[in-house]
Structure 1
Amino acid sequence: MEFGILGPLRVRTDGREIAIPGRKQRTLLAALLLARGDVLSDERLTALLWGQRPPATVSAQLYTYVSRLRQRLGAAVELVREPAGYRLGIRDAVFDAAEFHRLSRAGHRALRENRPDVAARLLHAALDLWRGPSLGGVTDQLRAAETPQLDEARMTALESRLEAELALGEHRQLVAELTGLVARFPLRERLRAQWMTALYRCERQAEALAVYQEGRRLLAEELGVDPGPALTATHHAVLSGGLALDGPSRAAALPGAAAAP
Protein backbone atom coordinates (compact mmCIF):
# COMPACT_ATOMS: atom_id res chain seq x y z
CA MET A 1 0.00 0.00 0.00
CA GLU A 2 1.16 3.55 -0.76
CA PHE A 3 0.13 6.79 0.92
CA GLY A 4 0.84 10.19 -0.60
CA ILE A 5 0.44 13.73 0.71
CA LEU A 6 3.06 15.46 -1.48
CA GLY A 7 0.30 16.60 -3.80
CA PRO A 8 -3.39 15.68 -3.50
CA LEU A 9 -3.97 13.03 -0.85
CA ARG A 10 -3.57 9.64 -2.52
CA VAL A 11 -3.91 6.03 -1.40
CA ARG A 12 -3.00 3.12 -3.68
CA THR A 13 -2.70 -0.60 -3.33
CA ASP A 14 -1.29 -2.90 -6.00
CA GLY A 15 -1.35 0.01 -8.42
CA ARG A 16 -5.06 0.63 -7.83
CA GLU A 17 -6.23 3.89 -6.28
CA ILE A 18 -8.46 3.76 -3.21
CA ALA A 19 -10.84 6.73 -3.14
CA ILE A 20 -11.15 8.54 0.18
CA PRO A 21 -14.35 10.56 -0.14
CA GLY A 22 -15.00 13.74 1.78
CA ARG A 23 -12.62 16.47 2.91
CA LYS A 24 -13.01 15.60 6.59
CA GLN A 25 -12.19 11.94 6.05
CA ARG A 26 -9.16 12.83 3.91
CA THR A 27 -8.02 15.29 6.58
CA LEU A 28 -8.30 12.64 9.28
CA LEU A 29 -6.15 10.23 7.28
CA ALA A 30 -3.55 12.86 6.37
CA ALA A 31 -3.27 14.09 9.96
CA LEU A 32 -2.79 10.55 11.28
CA LEU A 33 -0.17 9.84 8.61
CA LEU A 34 1.76 12.97 9.56
CA ALA A 35 1.69 11.93 13.23
CA ARG A 36 4.03 9.04 12.23
CA GLY A 37 2.52 6.51 14.59
CA ASP A 38 1.96 8.88 17.51
CA VAL A 39 -1.45 9.35 19.09
CA LEU A 40 -3.45 12.35 17.89
CA SER A 41 -5.79 13.57 20.60
CA ASP A 42 -9.47 14.10 20.01
CA GLU A 43 -8.94 17.81 20.67
CA ARG A 44 -6.22 18.09 18.04
CA LEU A 45 -8.21 16.16 15.46
CA THR A 46 -11.27 18.28 16.17
CA ALA A 47 -9.28 21.48 15.60
CA LEU A 48 -7.83 20.15 12.33
CA LEU A 49 -11.20 19.00 11.01
CA TRP A 50 -13.54 21.77 12.16
CA GLY A 51 -11.40 24.65 13.42
CA GLN A 52 -12.97 26.83 16.10
CA ARG A 53 -16.55 25.70 15.45
CA PRO A 54 -16.88 21.95 16.00
CA PRO A 55 -20.33 20.37 15.86
CA ALA A 56 -22.09 19.22 19.00
CA THR A 57 -21.79 15.62 17.74
CA VAL A 58 -18.02 15.80 17.23
CA SER A 59 -17.21 12.54 19.05
CA ALA A 60 -19.75 10.58 17.06
CA GLN A 61 -18.57 12.08 13.78
CA LEU A 62 -14.93 11.27 14.56
CA TYR A 63 -15.93 7.69 15.32
CA THR A 64 -17.83 7.50 12.02
CA TYR A 65 -14.89 8.83 9.98
CA VAL A 66 -12.50 6.38 11.67
CA SER A 67 -14.86 3.45 11.01
CA ARG A 68 -15.14 4.38 7.33
CA LEU A 69 -11.37 4.66 7.00
CA ARG A 70 -10.91 1.23 8.55
CA GLN A 71 -13.31 -0.22 6.00
CA ARG A 72 -11.53 1.41 3.06
CA LEU A 73 -7.95 0.70 4.17
CA GLY A 74 -8.48 -2.83 5.44
CA ALA A 75 -5.93 -4.92 7.26
CA ALA A 76 -2.93 -3.21 5.65
CA VAL A 77 -3.01 -0.57 8.39
CA GLU A 78 -3.64 -0.46 12.12
CA LEU A 79 -6.06 2.33 13.05
CA VAL A 80 -6.74 2.06 16.76
CA ARG A 81 -8.44 3.99 19.51
CA GLU A 82 -6.19 4.99 22.41
CA PRO A 83 -7.31 6.56 25.70
CA ALA A 84 -6.56 10.10 24.48
CA GLY A 85 -7.21 9.81 20.76
CA TYR A 86 -6.40 7.78 17.65
CA ARG A 87 -3.22 6.24 16.28
CA LEU A 88 -2.42 4.98 12.77
CA GLY A 89 0.21 2.36 12.05
CA ILE A 90 0.94 1.77 8.37
CA ARG A 91 3.18 -1.27 8.86
CA ASP A 92 5.29 -1.74 5.71
CA ALA A 93 3.29 0.68 3.53
CA VAL A 94 5.14 3.42 1.65
CA PHE A 95 4.52 7.00 2.80
CA ASP A 96 5.87 9.59 0.37
CA ALA A 97 6.58 12.26 3.01
CA ALA A 98 8.66 9.82 5.07
CA GLU A 99 10.53 8.72 1.95
CA PHE A 100 11.14 12.34 0.96
CA HIS A 101 12.65 13.14 4.35
CA ARG A 102 14.82 10.00 4.27
CA LEU A 103 16.22 10.79 0.82
CA SER A 104 16.70 14.49 1.48
CA ARG A 105 18.53 13.86 4.78
CA ALA A 106 20.86 11.46 2.98
CA GLY A 107 21.37 14.02 0.21
CA HIS A 108 22.20 16.84 2.63
CA ARG A 109 24.66 14.53 4.39
CA ALA A 110 26.36 13.59 1.11
CA LEU A 111 26.70 17.28 0.23
CA ARG A 112 28.33 18.04 3.59
CA GLU A 113 30.70 15.13 2.96
CA ASN A 114 31.71 16.62 -0.42
CA ARG A 115 30.04 13.91 -2.48
CA PRO A 116 28.02 16.11 -4.85
CA ASP A 117 27.28 13.36 -7.37
CA VAL A 118 25.60 11.24 -4.69
CA ALA A 119 23.87 14.30 -3.22
CA ALA A 120 22.43 15.34 -6.58
CA ARG A 121 21.06 11.85 -7.26
CA LEU A 122 19.45 11.51 -3.82
CA LEU A 123 17.94 15.00 -3.83
CA HIS A 124 16.57 14.55 -7.35
CA ALA A 125 14.87 11.37 -6.16
CA ALA A 126 13.43 13.16 -3.12
CA LEU A 127 12.07 16.06 -5.16
CA ASP A 128 10.59 13.74 -7.78
CA LEU A 129 8.17 12.45 -5.13
CA TRP A 130 6.28 15.75 -5.18
CA ARG A 131 3.20 15.75 -7.42
CA GLY A 132 2.18 19.34 -6.75
CA PRO A 133 1.31 21.48 -3.70
CA SER A 134 1.20 19.26 -0.65
CA LEU A 135 -1.98 18.18 1.15
CA GLY A 136 -4.43 18.79 -1.63
CA GLY A 137 -8.03 18.00 -0.75
CA VAL A 138 -7.83 18.48 3.03
CA THR A 139 -9.12 21.20 5.34
CA ASP A 140 -7.56 24.65 5.49
CA GLN A 141 -6.72 24.03 9.14
CA LEU A 142 -4.50 21.04 8.37
CA ARG A 143 -2.85 22.82 5.47
CA ALA A 144 -2.10 25.84 7.64
CA ALA A 145 -0.59 23.61 10.33
CA GLU A 146 1.55 21.36 8.12
CA THR A 147 2.36 22.91 4.74
CA PRO A 148 4.87 25.56 5.93
CA GLN A 149 7.37 22.97 7.19
CA LEU A 150 6.75 20.67 4.24
CA ASP A 151 7.31 23.51 1.77
CA GLU A 152 10.45 24.66 3.59
CA ALA A 153 11.86 21.13 3.51
CA ARG A 154 11.15 21.00 -0.23
CA MET A 155 12.89 24.33 -0.85
CA THR A 156 15.90 23.33 1.23
CA ALA A 157 16.22 20.09 -0.73
CA LEU A 158 15.97 22.03 -3.98
CA GLU A 159 18.69 24.45 -2.89
CA SER A 160 20.95 21.59 -1.89
CA ARG A 161 20.33 19.86 -5.22
CA LEU A 162 21.35 23.06 -7.01
CA GLU A 163 24.45 23.35 -4.80
CA ALA A 164 25.44 19.81 -5.68
CA GLU A 165 24.97 20.44 -9.40
CA LEU A 166 27.01 23.65 -9.22
CA ALA A 167 29.75 21.59 -7.59
CA LEU A 168 29.57 19.22 -10.55
CA GLY A 169 30.16 22.08 -13.00
CA GLU A 170 26.60 22.30 -14.34
CA HIS A 171 26.37 26.10 -14.01
CA ARG A 172 25.42 26.69 -17.64
CA GLN A 173 22.43 24.35 -17.40
CA LEU A 174 21.31 25.97 -14.13
CA VAL A 175 21.22 29.65 -15.07
CA ALA A 176 17.70 29.55 -16.53
CA GLU A 177 16.28 27.52 -13.64
CA LEU A 178 17.86 29.82 -11.06
CA THR A 179 16.58 32.89 -12.89
CA GLY A 180 13.03 31.61 -12.55
CA LEU A 181 13.46 30.49 -8.94
CA VAL A 182 14.83 33.82 -7.75
CA ALA A 183 11.97 35.60 -9.52
CA ARG A 184 9.53 33.44 -7.52
CA PHE A 185 11.45 33.56 -4.23
CA PRO A 186 13.39 36.84 -4.29
CA LEU A 187 14.18 36.86 -0.55
CA ARG A 188 15.84 33.45 -0.39
CA GLU A 189 19.48 34.40 -0.13
CA ARG A 190 20.88 30.96 -0.82
CA LEU A 191 19.12 30.81 -4.19
CA ARG A 192 20.41 34.29 -5.03
CA ALA A 193 23.97 33.32 -4.11
CA GLN A 194 23.68 30.24 -6.32
CA TRP A 195 22.40 32.35 -9.21
CA MET A 196 25.35 34.71 -8.79
CA THR A 197 27.73 31.74 -8.77
CA ALA A 198 26.25 30.27 -11.94
CA LEU A 199 26.37 33.64 -13.73
CA TYR A 200 29.95 34.27 -12.69
CA ARG A 201 31.07 30.87 -13.91
CA CYS A 202 29.39 31.63 -17.22
CA GLU A 203 31.66 34.72 -17.43
CA ARG A 204 28.76 37.07 -16.67
CA GLN A 205 30.33 38.93 -13.73
CA ALA A 206 28.44 42.21 -14.24
CA GLU A 207 25.11 40.38 -14.15
CA ALA A 208 26.15 38.52 -11.01
CA LEU A 209 26.91 41.83 -9.29
CA ALA A 210 23.58 43.27 -10.43
CA VAL A 211 21.80 40.24 -8.90
CA TYR A 212 23.48 41.03 -5.58
CA GLN A 213 22.54 44.69 -5.66
CA GLU A 214 18.91 43.85 -6.42
CA GLY A 215 18.86 41.37 -3.54
CA ARG A 216 20.38 43.90 -1.17
CA ARG A 217 17.71 46.45 -2.13
CA LEU A 218 14.86 43.97 -1.68
CA LEU A 219 16.10 42.77 1.69
CA ALA A 220 16.31 46.35 2.94
CA GLU A 221 12.90 47.34 1.60
CA GLU A 222 10.98 44.20 2.52
CA LEU A 223 12.65 43.08 5.74
CA GLY A 224 14.82 45.97 6.86
CA VAL A 225 17.96 43.82 6.95
CA ASP A 226 21.30 43.60 5.18
CA PRO A 227 22.39 40.53 3.19
CA GLY A 228 23.45 37.63 5.35
CA PRO A 229 26.94 36.12 5.57
CA ALA A 230 26.52 33.64 2.69
CA LEU A 231 25.24 36.17 0.17
CA THR A 232 27.82 38.74 1.30
CA ALA A 233 30.61 36.18 0.94
CA THR A 234 29.43 35.31 -2.56
CA HIS A 235 29.47 39.01 -3.47
CA HIS A 236 33.03 39.38 -2.20
CA ALA A 237 34.05 36.25 -4.09
CA VAL A 238 32.62 37.65 -7.33
CA LEU A 239 34.50 40.93 -6.81
CA SER A 240 37.77 39.18 -6.00
CA GLY A 241 37.50 36.42 -8.60
CA GLY A 242 37.31 33.83 -5.86
CA LEU A 243 34.61 31.64 -7.42
CA ALA A 244 36.54 29.02 -9.33
CA LEU A 245 34.98 28.19 -12.67
CA ASP A 246 35.74 24.49 -12.20
CA GLY A 247 34.87 23.93 -8.56
CA PRO A 248 32.05 24.20 -6.04
CA SER A 249 31.07 27.46 -4.39
CA ARG A 250 31.89 27.34 -0.74
CA ALA A 251 30.29 30.73 -0.17
CA ALA A 252 26.75 29.35 -0.45
CA ALA A 253 25.40 27.96 2.79
CA LEU A 254 24.38 24.42 3.58
CA PRO A 255 20.71 23.64 4.19
CA GLY A 256 18.75 26.54 5.60
CA ALA A 257 21.67 28.69 6.69
CA ALA A 258 21.00 31.62 4.38
CA ALA A 259 17.29 31.32 3.70
CA ALA A 260 15.32 34.46 4.43
CA PRO A 261 12.05 33.99 6.34
Structure 2
Amino acid sequence: MQIGILGPFEVRTADGVLTDVPGARLRGLLIALALEAGHLVPKATLIDWIWGEHPPADATNALQRLVSRLRKVLPEKSVEGQPNGYRLTVAPDAVDAVRFERLVGRARDDDDPRRLREALALWRGAALQDVGLRDSAAFDAAVTRLDGMRLTAMEDRFDAEIGLGRGGDLVTELTDLVAAHPVRERLVAALMRALVGGGGGEEERGSLSGLPPRQGV
Protein backbone atom coordinates (compact mmCIF):
# COMPACT_ATOMS: atom_id res chain seq x y z
CA MET A 1 0.00 0.00 0.00
CA GLN A 2 1.20 3.50 -0.89
CA ILE A 3 -0.15 6.63 0.80
CA GLY A 4 0.21 10.04 -0.83
CA ILE A 5 -0.35 13.24 1.14
CA LEU A 6 2.10 15.60 -0.58
CA GLY A 7 -0.59 16.84 -2.93
CA PRO A 8 -4.04 15.37 -3.58
CA PHE A 9 -4.76 12.68 -0.98
CA GLU A 10 -4.52 9.17 -2.40
CA VAL A 11 -4.14 5.58 -1.26
CA ARG A 12 -3.05 2.83 -3.64
CA THR A 13 -2.98 -0.90 -3.05
CA ALA A 14 0.07 -3.02 -3.88
CA ASP A 15 -1.20 -3.50 -7.44
CA GLY A 16 -1.63 0.26 -7.95
CA VAL A 17 -5.42 0.44 -7.60
CA LEU A 18 -6.78 3.59 -5.96
CA THR A 19 -8.61 2.99 -2.68
CA ASP A 20 -11.42 5.30 -1.63
CA VAL A 21 -11.15 6.56 1.95
CA PRO A 22 -14.38 8.52 2.41
CA GLY A 23 -14.85 11.34 4.89
CA ALA A 24 -12.58 13.91 6.51
CA ARG A 25 -12.30 12.12 9.84
CA LEU A 26 -11.44 8.78 8.26
CA ARG A 27 -8.79 10.45 6.14
CA GLY A 28 -7.54 12.38 9.14
CA LEU A 29 -7.16 9.16 11.10
CA LEU A 30 -5.22 7.50 8.30
CA ILE A 31 -2.92 10.52 7.91
CA ALA A 32 -2.19 10.65 11.65
CA LEU A 33 -1.24 6.96 11.54
CA ALA A 34 0.67 7.31 8.25
CA LEU A 35 2.91 10.11 9.51
CA GLU A 36 4.08 7.66 12.19
CA ALA A 37 4.06 4.61 9.90
CA GLY A 38 5.21 1.49 11.71
CA HIS A 39 4.97 3.16 15.12
CA LEU A 40 2.25 3.09 17.74
CA VAL A 41 0.18 6.29 17.89
CA PRO A 42 -1.52 6.86 21.28
CA LYS A 43 -5.30 7.06 21.32
CA ALA A 44 -5.21 10.52 22.90
CA THR A 45 -3.06 11.78 20.01
CA LEU A 46 -5.48 10.38 17.44
CA ILE A 47 -8.50 11.85 19.21
CA ASP A 48 -6.81 15.27 19.25
CA TRP A 49 -5.98 14.94 15.55
CA ILE A 50 -9.52 14.06 14.52
CA TRP A 51 -11.70 16.15 16.81
CA GLY A 52 -9.39 18.86 18.15
CA GLU A 53 -10.94 20.82 21.00
CA HIS A 54 -14.40 19.31 20.43
CA PRO A 55 -14.13 15.54 21.04
CA PRO A 56 -17.31 13.50 21.43
CA ALA A 57 -18.46 12.54 24.92
CA ASP A 58 -17.24 8.96 24.46
CA ALA A 59 -14.17 9.72 22.38
CA THR A 60 -12.43 6.37 22.91
CA ASN A 61 -15.39 4.40 21.56
CA ALA A 62 -15.87 6.90 18.74
CA LEU A 63 -12.22 6.38 17.79
CA GLN A 64 -12.65 2.62 17.90
CA ARG A 65 -15.63 2.82 15.55
CA LEU A 66 -13.60 5.01 13.18
CA VAL A 67 -10.73 2.54 13.22
CA SER A 68 -13.18 -0.27 12.38
CA ARG A 69 -14.38 1.70 9.36
CA LEU A 70 -10.80 2.34 8.26
CA ARG A 71 -9.94 -1.34 8.48
CA LYS A 72 -12.78 -2.13 6.10
CA VAL A 73 -11.40 0.09 3.32
CA LEU A 74 -7.70 -0.78 3.71
CA PRO A 75 -5.97 -4.08 2.94
CA GLU A 76 -6.31 -6.71 5.65
CA LYS A 77 -4.20 -6.22 8.79
CA SER A 78 -3.17 -2.70 7.78
CA VAL A 79 -4.14 -1.27 11.19
CA GLU A 80 -2.96 -3.00 14.33
CA GLY A 81 -4.64 -2.25 17.64
CA GLN A 82 -3.03 -2.25 21.07
CA PRO A 83 -4.49 -1.28 24.46
CA ASN A 84 -3.10 2.26 24.33
CA GLY A 85 -3.11 3.02 20.62
CA TYR A 86 -3.00 1.94 16.98
CA ARG A 87 -0.28 1.32 14.43
CA LEU A 88 -0.30 1.42 10.63
CA THR A 89 1.59 -1.66 9.47
CA VAL A 90 3.31 -0.23 6.39
CA ALA A 91 6.95 0.58 5.74
CA PRO A 92 7.79 4.25 6.37
CA ASP A 93 8.79 4.77 2.72
CA ALA A 94 5.27 3.75 1.67
CA VAL A 95 4.17 7.22 2.85
CA ASP A 96 5.44 9.98 0.58
CA ALA A 97 5.78 12.54 3.39
CA VAL A 98 7.88 10.19 5.50
CA ARG A 99 10.02 9.26 2.51
CA PHE A 100 10.47 12.95 1.72
CA GLU A 101 11.74 13.67 5.21
CA ARG A 102 14.13 10.73 5.16
CA LEU A 103 15.57 11.72 1.78
CA VAL A 104 16.08 15.31 2.92
CA GLY A 105 17.90 14.08 6.01
CA ARG A 106 20.22 11.94 3.90
CA ALA A 107 20.84 14.80 1.47
CA ARG A 108 22.05 17.01 4.32
CA ASP A 109 24.59 14.35 5.23
CA ASP A 110 26.16 14.17 1.77
CA ASP A 111 25.34 17.56 0.13
CA ASP A 112 24.04 15.78 -2.96
CA PRO A 113 21.46 17.85 -4.89
CA ARG A 114 20.27 14.69 -6.67
CA ARG A 115 18.78 13.38 -3.44
CA LEU A 116 17.09 16.73 -2.83
CA ARG A 117 15.64 16.65 -6.35
CA GLU A 118 14.36 13.14 -5.69
CA ALA A 119 12.76 14.28 -2.44
CA LEU A 120 11.12 17.36 -3.96
CA ALA A 121 9.81 15.32 -6.91
CA LEU A 122 7.52 13.52 -4.44
CA TRP A 123 5.41 16.67 -4.13
CA ARG A 124 2.36 16.71 -6.43
CA GLY A 125 0.82 19.88 -5.03
CA ALA A 126 0.04 21.48 -1.67
CA ALA A 127 0.32 19.18 1.34
CA LEU A 128 -2.75 17.33 2.62
CA GLN A 129 -5.18 18.36 -0.09
CA ASP A 130 -8.70 16.92 -0.32
CA VAL A 131 -8.91 16.05 3.37
CA GLY A 132 -11.27 18.69 4.70
CA LEU A 133 -10.47 18.12 8.38
CA ARG A 134 -11.54 21.21 10.31
CA ASP A 135 -10.88 22.53 13.82
CA SER A 136 -7.80 20.33 14.22
CA ALA A 137 -4.74 22.24 15.38
CA ALA A 138 -2.65 19.08 15.00
CA PHE A 139 -3.68 18.74 11.35
CA ASP A 140 -2.97 22.42 10.65
CA ALA A 141 0.42 22.11 12.36
CA ALA A 142 1.30 19.13 10.16
CA VAL A 143 0.47 21.14 7.02
CA THR A 144 2.60 24.06 8.22
CA ARG A 145 5.49 21.76 9.11
CA LEU A 146 5.48 19.95 5.76
CA ASP A 147 5.26 23.21 3.80
CA GLY A 148 8.16 24.62 5.79
CA MET A 149 10.25 21.50 5.18
CA ARG A 150 9.56 21.76 1.47
CA LEU A 151 10.73 25.37 1.29
CA THR A 152 13.87 24.58 3.30
CA ALA A 153 14.63 21.62 1.02
CA MET A 154 14.21 23.90 -1.99
CA GLU A 155 16.64 26.40 -0.47
CA ASP A 156 19.14 23.61 0.23
CA ARG A 157 18.81 22.39 -3.35
CA PHE A 158 19.29 25.87 -4.82
CA ASP A 159 22.40 26.45 -2.70
CA ALA A 160 23.85 23.11 -3.82
CA GLU A 161 23.01 23.67 -7.50
CA ILE A 162 24.39 27.23 -7.53
CA GLY A 163 27.53 25.96 -5.81
CA LEU A 164 27.97 23.60 -8.77
CA GLY A 165 27.70 26.50 -11.24
CA ARG A 166 24.12 25.87 -12.36
CA GLY A 167 22.60 29.13 -11.13
CA GLY A 168 21.68 30.36 -14.60
CA ASP A 169 19.22 27.48 -15.03
CA LEU A 170 17.38 28.41 -11.82
CA VAL A 171 16.63 32.10 -12.37
CA THR A 172 13.05 31.69 -13.59
CA GLU A 173 12.13 29.19 -10.87
CA LEU A 174 13.72 31.33 -8.16
CA THR A 175 12.06 34.50 -9.45
CA ASP A 176 8.64 32.88 -9.10
CA LEU A 177 9.43 31.56 -5.62
CA VAL A 178 10.73 34.90 -4.38
CA ALA A 179 7.54 36.55 -5.62
CA ALA A 180 5.50 33.98 -3.66
CA HIS A 181 7.72 34.07 -0.54
CA PRO A 182 9.36 37.53 -0.44
CA VAL A 183 10.44 37.26 3.22
CA ARG A 184 12.45 34.04 2.73
CA GLU A 185 15.94 35.53 2.87
CA ARG A 186 17.67 32.40 1.58
CA LEU A 187 15.52 32.42 -1.55
CA VAL A 188 16.28 36.08 -2.20
CA ALA A 189 20.00 35.47 -1.68
CA ALA A 190 19.91 32.43 -3.96
CA LEU A 191 18.22 34.44 -6.70
CA MET A 192 20.84 37.17 -6.47
CA ARG A 193 23.64 34.57 -6.68
CA ALA A 194 21.91 32.87 -9.62
CA LEU A 195 21.57 36.19 -11.46
CA VAL A 196 25.24 36.94 -10.94
CA GLY A 197 26.29 33.47 -12.01
CA GLY A 198 23.94 33.47 -14.97
CA GLY A 199 24.89 36.93 -16.17
CA GLY A 200 21.62 38.64 -15.17
CA GLY A 201 21.45 42.31 -16.05
CA GLU A 202 21.83 45.12 -13.53
CA GLU A 203 18.16 46.00 -14.02
CA GLU A 204 17.17 42.60 -12.62
CA ARG A 205 19.59 42.76 -9.70
CA GLY A 206 18.65 46.33 -8.94
CA SER A 207 14.91 45.63 -8.91
CA LEU A 208 15.47 42.64 -6.64
CA SER A 209 17.37 44.65 -4.06
CA GLY A 210 14.88 47.51 -4.17
CA LEU A 211 17.44 49.89 -5.69
CA PRO A 212 17.02 51.64 -9.03
CA PRO A 213 19.27 50.30 -11.81
CA ARG A 214 22.27 52.42 -12.72
CA GLN A 215 21.76 54.53 -15.83
CA GLY A 216 24.29 54.54 -18.62
CA VAL A 217 26.05 57.75 -19.53
Interval of TM-score (by shorter of Structure 1 and Structure 2): 0.7 to 0.9
Shift of 1:59: 2.5
Distance 1:87 1:138, change over 3 A: farther
**Counterparts in 2 of 1:33-44, with a 5 A limit?**
33-44=34-45
Does the 8 Å contact 1:76/1:90 carry over to 2?
no
Work out the CA distance in 2 between the residues paired with 1:138 and 1:44: 19
Moved more, 98-107 or 27-36: 98-107
The answer to whether the 8 Å contact 1:81/1:87 transfers is yes
Selected match of 1:200 from 193, 196, 202: 196
Identity of aligned residues (%): 40
* Alignment match, 1:55: 56
Deviations along 1:96-128, one digit per CA (max 9) or x if unpaired, are 1122122222222332xxxxxxx2222111111
- Is 2:175–2:191's contact at 8 Å kept on the other side of the alignment? yes
Aligned partner of 1:120 in structure 2 is 113
Change in Cα spacing, 1:73 to 1:145, as seen in structure 2 (3 Å) is: same
Deviation of 1:71 after TM superposition, in Å, equals 2.1
Note the alpha carbon deviations across 1:35-94, whole angstroms, 9 max, x for none.
Answer: 2333322222222111212222423321111112222222362x2222322222214871
Contact 2:7 2:128 in 1 (8 A): yes
SS of equivalent residue, structure 2 residue 3: strand
CA distance, structure 2, for counterparts of residue 154 and residue 73 of structure 1: 28
Query: In the alignment, which residue of structure 1 is the partner of 2:209?
Result: 212
Query: Which amino acid counterpart does residue 27 of structure 1 have in structure 2?
Result: G
CA shift in 2, pair 1:54/1:151, >3 Å: same
Alignment of 1:91-130 (within 5 A): 91=91, 94-111=94-111, 119-130=112-123
Other-structure match for 1:72: 73
Q: What secondary structure, in the 3-state scheme, does the structure 2 residue paired with 1:81 have?
A: strand
Mapping 1:18-33, distance limit 5 Å: 18-33=19-34
What is the 5 A alignment of 1:153-164? 153-164=149-160
Whole-angstrom distance in 2 between the partners of 1:41 and 1:15 = 30
Paired residue type of 2:24: R
Where does residue 169 of structure 1 map in the other structure? 165
- Distance between the aligned counterparts of 1:210 and 1:92, measured in 2? 45
Q: Residue 2 of structure 2 aligns to which amino acid in structure 1?
A: E
Tell me which stretches of 4 or more aligned residues in structure 1 moved more than 4 Å: none
Q: Is 1:143 paired with 2:139? A: yes
What's the RMSD between the two structures over aligned residues?
A: 2.1
The structure with higher relative contact order (CA 8 Å, sep 6+) is 2
Question: Which amino acid counterpart does residue 133 of structure 2 have in structure 1?
Answer: T
1:152 aligns with 2:148: yes
- Cα 1:181–1:92, aligned 2, differ >3 Å: closer, same or farther? closer
Deviation at 1:138, TM superposition (A): 4.5
State the shift of 1:200 in Å.
1.7
Contact 1:3 1:93 in 2 (8 A): no
Tell me by how many angstroms 1:134 deviates: 1.0
Whole-angstrom distance in 2 between the partners of 1:30 and 1:65? 13
Q: Is the 8 A contact 2:37 2:92 kept in 1?
A: no
Instruction: Work out the number of aligned pairs and report it.
Output: 206
Alignment match, 1:3: 3
**TM-score of the aligned structures, taking structure 2 as reference length:** 0.85
CA displacement at 1:197 relative to structure 2: 0.6
Runs of 5+ unmatched residues, structure 1: 112-118, 215-261
Question: Which consecutive residues of structure 2, in runs of 5 or more, have no partner in the other structure?
Answer: 212-217
Per-residue CA deviations over 1:118-164 (Å, capped at 9, x if unaligned) read x2222111111111111121413143121121111111111122122
Deviations 1:172-227 (A, max 9, x none): 2211111111111111111111111112221535643552357xxxxxxxxxxxxx
